[in-house]
Amino acid sequence: MALPADFDVVIVGGGPAGIIALAYARMAGLAAVLLERRDVVGGLWSQLPSWQDIQNREEDWTLGDIPLAGVHQPSIVANIRHWADKFGLAEHIRLGTPVLAARPVDGGWDIETPAGIVRGEVLISATGVHSRPVIPSIERRLSELSEFHSSALKEPATLEGRDVVVVGGGASAFDLLDLAIERGAARVVWVYRSLKWMIPTRKSKQLTSNLRNVARMEMQGGSLKQISEAIDGDLRERYRKFGIVDLLPNAPFNIERDQLIPGRWRMIANLAALERYRDEPIEIDRRSIVLKSGRRIDADILLWGTGYSLDLAYLASIGLDQIKYPHQLAARCGSMVMSLDAPNLYFMSVGLEGTGATPWHYAHLARSIVSHLRGVAALSREPVLRHLNYFGFPIFLARLDPANYPADGWRKEYLSLATEFPDDRPLPVPRLNAE
């Protein structure tokens, strides 16, 4: 006989994914608790430097009437806390409670914390895909360089007048290049092994594109192949217009694989002044960064724009502690969220590296998870091995969750949101239907 659980649902992680999952669990009438290792909610955002900002427009970050005062880290943390306030979640959140281990026991979960065992029937992992900064393991010989991952550069003023090397070819590296130029670095060297797609721009990255254009194409029946080809053609023309065709990625843009990353205007405007090498560091020798090609670069500061990996150490009991990247986890989840390794285990951040708005994604995933737990949705065990994008989430979930996507009206509702709802307003918080 199964032992009684303290909670219907235990959620690990107090970032936006965890807070939104808790909100929907409470809406569904489930006894739920959220465990957060830090002393504040916000997840990784609560620890990032204040200069860090969101990739897209404010209207595509927040939802409904949940306020967002700006695009930078303090405003994002405040927005996450507003979710907790709006849905009265404070009493269901245990701060300063790291999860040491989680073990499936008698159809439920024993979650070990420093304060003791918390038992839940269901475990929702909401620790995110950006939980462990990635810094390549290279040899360091009496290093005299200051090194910072993009998540740890708290004082960007230290870049002024310094020789700076930025490593990486994606969003984090673009941010660091822009920051080094803005803060007056004397010399900026960019080292990258490969490049991600970006949208060239002369504007701030939040004004670079309207991602709801992609939503409109999806809801109006455009195939993923058609959407990918349209975006690819537009991006190639932009690269040509800005004179940066040498930064084109090797493969055509594919919306099922690539992110639509806004460009950084300072980086693009000052590209000719950057030293660029398609290479990778293999060693630091005092003040020199040694590249795989044998080139040596003397510098004062090395900035790692090399992204993040997953940290699922607390799931060692079922062998998920070795999972590092989202695509690896996606292969072990049904319907993006339901673990195939253990019963009653769900993930909130699989498949969220495409084009779109993070809280919108979390809200739809959380809603369908709790509907599945209540028996009014039937999530599939089939893995989703591609990115879903913006309105791609409701399109995918509709066939699995008829309560929240009634056959006689869901498509009309979402088509109206895509084509008629004002672009300068946040989309509404997705409602949880009772049956």
Cα–Cα distance, 273 to 177 (Å, whole number): 11
Question: Last residue of a domain, which of 269, 304, 339?
Answer: 304
Do residue 111 and residue 210 come from a single domain?
no
Q: Is 320 strand, coil or helix?
A: helix
Mean pLDDT calculated for residue range 128-135: 89
The residue assigned the tokens 């991600």 is 196
Q: Would you say residue 431 lies in a domain?
A: no
- Better-predicted residue by pLDDT, 350 or 354: 350
Cα–Cα distance, 164 to 348 (Å, whole number): 36
Mean pLDDT calculated for residue range 65-93: 97
Cα–Cα distance, 356 to 219 (Å, whole number): 14
pLDDT of residue 346: 98
Q: What is the pLDDT of residues 208-218, one digit of tens each?
A: 878 888 889 99
Do residue 272 and residue 347 come from a single domain?
no
Do residue 107 and residue 158 come from a single domain?
no
Do residue 321 and residue 405 come from a single domain?
yes
Best CA proximity match to 3, nearest among 102, 112, 115, 108: 108
Do residue 156 and residue 189 come from a single domain?
yes
Cα–Cα distance, 150 to 212 (Å, whole number): 28
Q: Looking at the predicted structure, is the pLDDT value of residue 351 above 90?
A: no
Cα–Cα distance, 105 to 431 (Å, whole number): 33
Tell me what the pLDDT averaged over the chain comes to: 94
pLDDT band for 322, please (50, 70, 90 cuts). very high
Q: How far apart are the first and last CA of the chain?
A: 29
Q: Would you say residue 209 lies in a domain?
A: yes
Q: Would you say residue 374 lies in a domain?
A: yes
pLDDT band for 128, please (50, 70, 90 cuts). confident
Q: Looking at the predicted structure, is the pLDDT value of residue 352 above 80?
A: no
Q: Would you say residue 386 lies in a domain?
A: yes
Cα–Cα distance, 142 to 288 (Å, whole number): 10
Do residue 340 and residue 210 come from a single domain?
no
Q: Would you say residue 434 lies in a domain?
A: no
Contacts of 312 (CB under 8 A, 6+ apart): 125, 127, 320, 321, 323, 329
Question: Last residue of a domain, which of 286, 304, 322?
Answer: 304
pLDDT of residue 206: 83
Relative orientation angle of helices 224-241 and 212-219, to the nearest 10 degrees: 150
Can you give the residue range of the structural domain that contains 381?
Answer: 7-131+310-419
pLDDT band for 354, please (50, 70, 90 cuts). low
CATH number of the domain to which 281 belongs: 3.50.50.60
Cα–Cα distance, 251 to 305 (Å, whole number): 21
pLDDT of residue 430: 97
pLDDT of residue 434: 62
Q: Looking at the predicted structure, is the pLDDT value of residue 229 above 60?
A: yes
C-beta of residue 116 within 8 angstroms of C-beta of residue 98 = no
pLDDT of residue 1: 33
Q: Looking at the predicted structure, is the pLDDT value of residue 97 above 60?
A: yes
Rg (CA), the chain: 22
What's the pTM? 0.96
Q: Would you say residue 371 lies in a domain?
A: yes
Cα–Cα distance, 324 to 309 (Å, whole number): 5
Mean pLDDT calculated for residue range 274-297: 98
Q: Would you say residue 53 lies in a domain?
A: yes
Question: Last residue of a domain, which of 304, 328, 355?
Answer: 304
Do residue 120 and residue 144 come from a single domain?
no
Q: What is the pLDDT of residues 156-199, one digit of tens each?
A: 999 999 999 999 999 999 999 999 999 999 999 999 999 999 99
How many domains are contained in the chain?
2
pLDDT of residue 208: 83
pLDDT of residue 353: 61
pLDDT of residue 435: 55
Q: What is the pLDDT of residues 247-270, one digit of tens each?
A: 999 999 999 999 889 999 999 999
Do residue 325 and residue 289 come from a single domain?
no
Q: Is 148 strand, coil or helix?
A: strand
Q: Looking at the predicted structure, is the pLDDT value of residue 4 above 70?
A: no
Kindly write down the DSSP assignment for every residue of 60-125, as one continuous string. Answer: GTS-TT-----SBHHHHHHHHHHHHHHTT-GGGEE-S----EEEEETTEEEEEETTEEEEEEEEEE
Do residue 204 and residue 110 come from a single domain?
no
The residue assigned the tokens 């989840």 is 333
Mean pLDDT calculated for residue range 72-90: 97
pLDDT of residue 91: 97
* Percent of the chain whose predicted confidence (pLDDT) is above 90: 89
Q: How far is CA 429 from CA 331, 413, 432, in A?
A: 29, 13, 9
Do residue 118 and residue 138 come from a single domain?
no
In 343-374, which positions are buried (b, 16+ CB within 10 angstroms) versus exposed (e)?
A: ebbbbbbbbbbbbbbbbbbbbbbbbbbbbbbb
pLDDT of residue 355: 60
pLDDT of residue 207: 82
What six digits make up the tokens of 419? Answer: 């084509």
pLDDT of residue 349: 82
Q: Looking at the predicted structure, is the pLDDT value of residue 101 above 80?
A: yes
Do residue 117 and residue 145 come from a single domain?
no
Do residue 348 and residue 264 come from a single domain?
no
C-beta of residue 18 within 8 angstroms of C-beta of residue 80 = no
Q: Would you say residue 34 lies in a domain?
A: yes
